Amino acid sequence: GGGAGAAAGATGKWDAAPGEAKGEPEGKEAEAKAADPSAAHPRYADLVAKWGDMMAPSAGGAAGTTLANEMLDVALVPVAVSSSSLEPVKKKLPANLPVIRLKQMARRLFGIEVDQMVLSFRVDKASISEQLDDDDQTLRYFGVSDGGEIFVNEKE
């Protein structure tokens, strides 16, 4: 007789579990995890620190997006022979700034004509620079991030 009683007890236990799993506490917890990826992914903060927040709403996105958190602190570094005596210029630029607008700004700062200019970006001194080779794309598209350097050079 003990086997049948144990089976009935187990069935009662199993019946309760699915109802609890579908209850509100887990639904709210799942919503919180969806709203805050760091709750679901332990390395989220490290990856955001390294690569920037790819999950952040873009400029055309949510109303919560402010201009302040879309601004990037970068250093424009002249590396062309004609402007190498000039000091780097720190700028706060919008992430949605098109590369062509950055080139126009750099022309005023360093005297290199836009059609002769080559821009490249690096996150930090240890990283390899990447050329910003599409004038119509934005700084965000190329992954330009806070604290990086944008090198302003002339075509050979």
With tokens 């607008």, the residue in question is 101
- Whether the CB-CB separation of 95 and 86 falls below 8 Å is answered with no
Residue 54: the pLDDT is 64
Which of 78, 54, 51, 95 has its CA nearest to residue 150?
A: 78
pLDDT digits (tens, 9 = 90+) for 122-152: 998 899 999 999 999 999 999 999 999 999 9
Distance, in Å, from the CA atom of 10 to the CA atom of 15, rounded to the nearest integer, reads: 9
Which helix H or strand E contains 18, and what residues bound it? helix 2-21
Question: Residue 124's closest CA among 42, 52, 69, 44?
Answer: 52
For residue 23, the model assigns a pLDDT of 46
Q: Among the listed ranges 18-22, 24-28, 76-80, 128-132, which one has the minimum average pLDDT value?
A: 18-22
Q: Does domain 68-154 have CATH number 3.20.20.80?
A: no
Strands (E), 1-156: 71-78, 89-94, 117-122, 130-131, 149-154
Residue 61: pLDDT band by 50, 70, 90 thresholds?
Answer: very low
pLDDT for residue 71 is more than 80: yes
Residue 25 has pLDDT above 60, yes or no: no
Domain residue extents for the chain: 68-154
The tokens for 8 are: 């009935």
pLDDT digits (tens, 9 = 90+) for 33-54: 556 666 677 777 777 777 776 6
Closest Cα partner for 67 from 96, 28, 34?
Answer: 96
Total-model pTM: 0.57
| Digit-coded pLDDT (tens) for 79-135 | 998 887 899 999 999 999 999 999 999 999 999 999 999 999 999 889 999 999 999
